Amino acid sequence: MRFLILLFMAMPIIEMWLLIVVGQHLGASLTIIMVVFTAVIGLHGLRSQGLSTLKRLQDKLSSQQLPAKEIVEGVILAIGGAFLLTPGFITDILGFSCMLPLTRKLWLKLLFTWYQFRLASFHQAPFEHSGFDQSEQSVSGDIIEGKYSNSNDKVK
């Protein structure tokens, strides 16, 4: 979390510095044209890639399959679109990496790997320091019946 806060604070400063450096070498007007041009190209790419992903999502839904990959790709495309609309060259590189199918697949694989790692560590964490030995868990599949009552329910 601290890394994200540091990143959100440092990124605009780095982008401004880079825009100033490029502006000194190419001129302010050419630098502004480049930033606007990448935003226009990025929005066009977002539209075409988004429609393609939406079509695949609809195809999976019509064949009664879970469109998890397409949903995550849609999120990656939305993030890429936000990066492309943000003025700057580093955000443009990140945005275009979300738009291009090859690099988007890499982002997708990275995201799924991270999610699986987080999910696996989440399931192991509750028993790490509790003194409960996981090897003693029953695997017989016995069903224990009981009743549940909410302590906030009024007694009649």
pLDDT of residue 112: 84
Q: pLDDT digit string (tens) for 60-111?
A: 999 999 888 888 888 899 999 889 888 899 999 999 999 888 998 898 888 8
**Mean pLDDT of the residues in the chain:** 82
Q: pLDDT digit string (tens) for 46-62?
A: 888 889 989 999 999 99
Task: Identify which has the larger pLDDT, 32 or 129.
Answer: 32
Closest CA to 67 of 51, 77, 56: 56
d(Cα 104, Cα 108) in Å, to the nearest integer? 6
Q: Tell me the CA distances in angstroms from 151 to 144, 146, 156, one per residue in order.
A: 21, 16, 13
pLDDT of residue 133: 46
pTM (whole model) above 0.95: no
Q: pLDDT digit string (tens) for 99-109?
A: 888 998 898 88
pLDDT of residue 3: 84
